[in-house]
Structure 1
Amino acid sequence: MSDKAELRFGVDLVTFHHPGFWGVEDYAGIARRAAEDPLGFWTKILDAVAETGLEGIEMTFPPFDWQGAVAAFGSEAGLAEALSARGLRLCSGFFAELALGADLTDPAVEAGILASAARYGDFLAACGAEVMVAGLPMRQTPGETPARFFDFDAARALADLLNRLGALLAAKGLRLALHTEGHSVFAAARDVDLMLLLTDPAYVGLCPDTAHILLMGGDPVQLVERHHERVVIAHWKDATGPMPADTPIDDLIHDRHRPYFCGFGLGRVDWHAWMRLMRRRGIGGWAILELDAAPDPVGDLTRGLGFVRQALLPIPA
């Protein structure tokens, strides 16, 4: 990465996953828009990001994925040209396949994940990106039977796969960063501590998400203070507070998260303490401003970037 003390601001494209932005009734309508007019779909996204004043984009799940973008612009070079024409960069890509619920101890599943990550990594490297952000498997709803424990043995098996994934990406000039996804095995403070202990820091880094750490009852500043040397990229996001301990963890868990997210500076993230930590520890690189499924992403991101510039960036080292 470039000078760690320099912060650059981008956005994860999940921010644009709201039917209101696309003038459709539901999420299925967004997918139809992408399928019917891929170039128009991606042109609207890139124009919107450029309008906010942000510098970079993070690819995510379909239809905001790298395959869709390449198909829309005809090639990786076509995508790179479209980004450059708007003063944008591809900074990172979110890799969700570890979190899909498959048995990661199955050699065939593992081989498929590594092969998929290799293809994604080739794309990211070709487009000048620096980081692959990975979400980890979700936890089980507390009280379900039979109980599945995320104990030392389970964590060690997952860490072995992550180490090899990180080494695969490092050979392509990329860094792997684990995302603190709420209700996953990498969000609560104990789980983050455990996984970072078991993974090799030369190959596995950290992508703290301030809002998701809050959802699990944690303190983003305290958690990142403990692991500041592992931060590769960060998701800057606000939330109103922790979610109930008995929240069901199922296919709707991400929908359940959304009511707890809010605009920058309107929640319980202590942004001034967060910025002082960034300065004190010399943490820079890409800071990803993210709003899950915002109906007015341009307005919300513009206000968020304004808040960062006016209230946070002036904070001294």
Structure 2
Amino acid sequence: MLSFGVDLITFFHPGFWDLETESEVVELGKAEPRMFWDRMLDALEGTGVTGIELTFSPFGSNDLVAAYGSEEAAGAELARRGLAIASGFFPDVAIEGGIGDPEREARWIADGETLARRLKAWGASVMVIGLPMRASWNVQPPVFIDGAYGAKAADFANRLGAATLAHGVRLTLHTEAHSTFCQPRDIDLMLLMTDPVYVGFCPDAAHILLSGGEPNAIVERHAERVAIAHWKDARGPMPINIPIDEKVHEAHRPYFCALGDGKVDFNRWAQLMLARAQAIEGAMEWAILEIDAVADPQREIERSLVVARKVLENATQALGTSA
């Protein structure tokens, strides 16, 4: 059985908060966490999704605890609304970079364990991370994502995965466009070099497409590693040779589109995801809808959910099984 959740980045658009900038959204979330979370959860209640994926602050686990006073109270508030924590995105590695720095890695593992413990207490069993961004194509000297880099990144991911698994939470790698885990070859390299016991896979259909890959082909190659997936659509690939700087994520947004309006074959995607969920009991429980920063998140979530449920129904019929 697959249940649908939503990544909270969906609520990052200033328009939803009657604000002008994303920095103001962050400030509001920090200053008034209870109001901030109440408003998000109020909007989610009527959409039909039953789970949320925590992400960067002010949409993270520390912010959720600040909003309701304790881990226990936060969990109770979600349960009261018929919502669950589906997964948690641990953003520090992707945002900061610096794989191979012992001090930084030790801090990431300690903070990752804290998040894993909370996720488990809230009934979740998956943590998602992104790997650091690539350098721009024209940086001098060039920075290559090669075997030496792969060995460093895999070593860290293995150790973080072992630390989270000790709390009953599986670490998964997310395919962020223009990161060191995005192009088909990057994905193959990192999944080859990481230990499947400790490190799983979180494919994001839109980000794989942005990076020039075919999402379903990637999932077919690595289906046994998929523990959760981001259901997201895009209009087509982006250029590789764009500046990779603090504005790269904004540059992605014009390429994203509503589920079903882009180039991803979601009928095939749903078949692969349903087959994976049925292969081993508990192998995958959640499908995460991700809509980057929209002014009317409730409407967009409801619209995406209609498409997602339809393709899942088609997949159920095609596979002759139950969703």
Answer whether contact 2:131 2:173 (CA < 8 A) is retained: yes
Q: Distance in 1 between matches of 2:145 and 2:293?
A: 30
- Between stretches 271-280 and 137-146, larger displacement belongs to 271-280
Secondary structure of 1:313's aligned partner: helix
- Between stretches 128-137 and 23-32, larger displacement belongs to 23-32
Superposed displacement of residue 314, structure 1: 3.2
Superposed displacement of residue 161, structure 1: 0.8
Superposed displacement of residue 255, structure 1: 0.5
Deviation per CA, 1:227-265, whole angstroms, max 9, x where unpaired?
000000000000000001211111111000111110010
5+ unaligned residues in a row in structure 1: which ranges?
A: 1-5
Name the counterpart of 2:212.
217
Superposed displacement of residue 278, structure 1: 2.6
Superposed displacement of residue 280, structure 1: 4.2
Deviation per CA, 1:274-307, whole angstroms, max 9, x where unpaired?
1222344446421000101011110011011111
Indicate which of 20, 23, 30 corresponds to 1:25. Answer: 20
Q: Distance in 1 between matches of 2:110 and 2:146?
A: 27
Q: Distance in 1 between matches of 2:95 and 2:30?
A: 23
> Is 1:80 paired with 2:110?
no
Deviation per CA, 1:17-62, whole angstroms, max 9, x where unpaired?
0001111111122123223321111011111122211010010001
Alignment of 1:178-257 (within 5 A): 178-257=173-252
Q: Distance in 1 between matches of 2:186 and 2:32?
A: 42
Q: Distance in 2 between matches of 1:278 and 1:31?
A: 34
- Between stretches 279-288 and 6-15, larger displacement belongs to 279-288
Q: Distance in 2 between matches of 1:191 and 1:293?
A: 27
Secondary structure of 2:287's aligned partner: strand
5+ unaligned residues in a row in structure 2: which ranges?
A: none
Indicate which of 263, 268, 272 corresponds to 1:273. Answer: 268
Secondary structure of 2:310's aligned partner: helix
Superposed displacement of residue 110, structure 1: 1.3
Name the counterpart of 2:46.
51
- Number of residue pairs matched? 312
CA RMSD, Structure 1 to Structure 2 (Å): 1.2
Q: Distance in 1 between matches of 2:206 and 2:84?
A: 24
Q: Distance in 2 between matches of 1:296 and 1:62?
A: 20
Runs of 4+ in structure 1 over 6 Å off: none
Indicate which of 9, 15, 21 corresponds to 2:10. Answer: 15
TM (norm. structure 1) is 0.96
Secondary structure of 1:52's aligned partner: coil
> Is 1:165 paired with 2:160?
yes
Answer whether contact 1:211 1:239 (CA < 8 A) is retained: yes
Q: Distance in 2 between matches of 1:107 and 1:308?
A: 42
Q: Distance in 2 between matches of 1:186 and 1:150?
A: 9
Answer whether contact 1:102 1:109 (CA < 8 A) is retained: no
Q: Distance in 2 between matches of 1:85 and 1:30?
A: 26
Indicate which of 258, 263, 271 corresponds to 1:263. Answer: 258
Secondary structure of 2:111's aligned partner: helix
Alignment-mate amino acid for residue 312 of structure 1 = L
Secondary structure of 2:207's aligned partner: helix
Alignment-mate amino acid for residue 192 of structure 1 = I
TM (norm. structure 2) is 0.94
Q: Distance in 1 between matches of 2:310 and 2:218?
A: 25
Answer whether contact 2:4 2:289 (CA < 8 A) is retained: yes
Indicate which of 147, 163, 170 corresponds to 1:175. Answer: 170
Answer whether contact 1:101 1:138 (CA < 8 A) is retained: no
Q: Distance in 2 between matches of 1:279 and 1:79?
A: 31
Task: Give the 3 Å change call, closer, same or farther, for CA 177–235 of structure 1 in structure 2.
Answer: same
Q: Distance in 1 between matches of 2:311 and 2:129?
A: 30
Identity of aligned residues (%): 50
> Is 1:62 paired with 2:57?
yes
Answer whether contact 2:71 2:118 (CA < 8 A) is retained: yes
Answer whether contact 2:2 2:274 (CA < 8 A) is retained: no
Name the counterpart of 2:132.
137
